[in-house]
Amino acid sequence: MADESLPALAAAACRRAAQLAQPIFLCYSEISPPVEPLDWLQSQPQERPAYWRQPDFLLAGSGTSALWQDGGWERFPRALAFCESVVDRSAGEVPLMVGGFAFAEQSSHNCLWLPQRLLVQSAGRSRVQIQYAVLPGMDGAGVVMAVQEQMAIAQKQPHFIDSSDREVFELPDSRVDNPQQKTWRETIDRALSAIQEGTLKKVVLARALEVCAKSPWQHWGVLSRLQKQFPNCFNFLLESPDRRLFLGASPERLFQIESGRLTCDAIAGSIERGENPTQDQILADSLWHSDKDRHEHALVVQSICDRLRQCGLAPHPSDHPQLLKLANVQHLYTPIQAQLPQTSLQQVFSLLQSLHPTAAVGGEPRQQALDFLTAWEPRDRGWYAAPVGWLDGSGRATFAVGIRSAYLAGDRAELFAGAGIVAASRPEDETAETLLKFTAMLDALGVSWIP
């Protein structure tokens, strides 16, 4: 809790709002008893829900006190200006924001917001934070009452909602592949030709799969099953700018800033899991000794390290790739760390601009790969393979790469999966890899795969 009392904070916020003729964001928190965050979020008013779970931190948010949506070029500087404005006009606790950025720079799919009610769990403690917009002309007593009302909503004992059961759709009502199989194969062939000509070293192609259910998707159940199946991934649910829900369980951290240390994940190279420990080890050995996968992985590690050096940092990758074993797939994985000379909002957005997209989801060289995708993958990926996450006013932040994900809207679900194309790629193998990656979300949705 902030040192100042709520009445003192409210009175000071009202004076500043009147002086500046702008909203002041009063951030006030109280310790909360332990509660299941998904139950808490389902019990809150369903205005712009937000959910984020990583092994050492969890937040759930509801409502909006400040919102930034912008598209096109210069999105990261504009987002930085929004966050700095929120921090400059905040009072009490450090404000915390959530959201995501589009994969493509020209896309309008960019959104950050300041949730009005937050549940935050970290280091064994749970707290509720109210982030309330104090408008010019408000009086202190009225603000205190409004914050207390929001706190009462946030601290209301949530009711348990069983989201474990699911209806299994043996066949969805409809299925649409984008691109169609023939076009997908042709695009892989074009990518391989560009690599052979020396234009590209690698490009990551994405497929979309839309399935329509017999009834609206129950997103709480989907998210609950995802985090049970992938407890060590970054589990998230965020409302996108077009008001669809974007949710997933990403294994890939774009970067995390905590206590002056930066951590990035290099993940590239994939193979399925085995049906028993012996088969699983055989598959892992195959991945480990695959020249194609080791080459693809090395490109990603080198690309991330080069971009961190361009930011003036000294990256330290692990000496050798590790195996990251998930429920349905195993990857080659290299953690990369660096010390930060400072922790600030400017640092967060400098890293976003420098690191996104990594060679794991875009390609190498970066600009040539993006030009290829613009020409031959015209579908807007939205937040797929793009940065989603949270940051606070002190410069702490975690952004994951929005993979193993889907958009939900009513009875429609749109899933994405990607495959990294390098010189040794074979179209049939890359198609199989995308099918493998689709299965995680299809299983959470309760949809049997249709070959």
For residue 140, the SS3 value is helix
For β-strands 363-364 and 202-212, DSSP reports them as antiparallel
User: Do residue 197 and residue 141 come from a single domain?
Assistant: no
pLDDT at 215: 82
The residue segments making up the domain with residue 359 are 174-220+251-445
User: Do residue 323 and residue 352 come from a single domain?
Assistant: yes
The reply to whether 437 belongs to the active site is no
Structure tokens at 289: 């000794």
End-to-end, the C-alpha distance of the chain in Å comes to 54
**End-of-domain residue from the set 155, 187, 207:** 155
pLDDT at 159: 67
pLDDT at 404: 93
Structure tokens at 116: 């009005």
d(CA 398, CA 253): 8
User: Do residue 181 and residue 122 come from a single domain?
Assistant: no
Question: Which residue out of 202, 296, 377, 414 is catalytically annotated?
Answer: 202
User: Do residue 34 and residue 180 come from a single domain?
Assistant: no
pLDDT at 166: 47
Give a yes or no: residue 438 inside a domain. yes
Those residues with Cβ within 8 angstroms of residue 437's Cβ, 6 or more apart along the chain or in another chain: 270, 329, 403, 404, 417, 418
User: Do residue 27 and residue 75 come from a single domain?
Assistant: yes
Nearest to 358 by CA among 378, 333, 331, 385: 385
User: Do residue 314 and residue 262 come from a single domain?
Assistant: yes
Question: Which residue out of 252, 364, 414, 433 is catalytically annotated?
Answer: 252
Give a yes or no: residue 243 inside a domain. no
Structure tokens at 292: 């194609």
Structure tokens at 394: 């002190």
- Phi, psi of 226, rounded to the nearest 5 degrees: -60, -45
pLDDT at 170: 46
Nearest to 352 by CA among 130, 85, 31, 99: 99
User: Do residue 96 and residue 182 come from a single domain?
Assistant: no
String of DSSP letters for 85-97:
HHHHTEEESPPEE
The reply to whether 325 belongs to the active site is no
Structure tokens at 333: 């994985």
User: Do residue 205 and residue 146 come from a single domain?
Assistant: no
For residue 159, the SS3 value is coil
User: Do residue 123 and residue 257 come from a single domain?
Assistant: no
Rounded (10°) angle between helices 140-155 and 6-20: 120
E strand or H helix that includes residue 413? strand 412-421
Mean per-residue pLDDT pooled into runs of 10, the chain (451 residues): 78 96 97 90 92 93 95 88 97 97 91 97 93 97 96 83 51 75 92 95 94 86 91 95 94 94 94 92 94 92 95 94 91 95 93 94 94 89 96 96 95 93 90 88 80 51
User: Do residue 319 and residue 203 come from a single domain?
Assistant: yes
Give a yes or no: residue 239 inside a domain. no
Distance of CA 156 to the CA centre of its chain: 28
Positive/negative CA dihedral, 85, 90, 94, 99: negative
Contact yes or no for 225/231 (Cβ under 8 A): no
| Torsion angle defined by CA atoms of residues 219, 222, 225 and 229, in that order, rounded to the nearest 10 degrees | -130
pLDDT at 173: 61
pLDDT at 181: 86
Those residues with Cβ within 8 angstroms of residue 447's Cβ, 6 or more apart along the chain or in another chain: 168, 169, 172, 211, 213
User: Do residue 210 and residue 99 come from a single domain?
Assistant: no
Q: Quote the number of domains for the chain.
A: 2
Within 123-224, strands assigned E span 125-134, 174-178, 202-212
pTM given for the model: 0.93
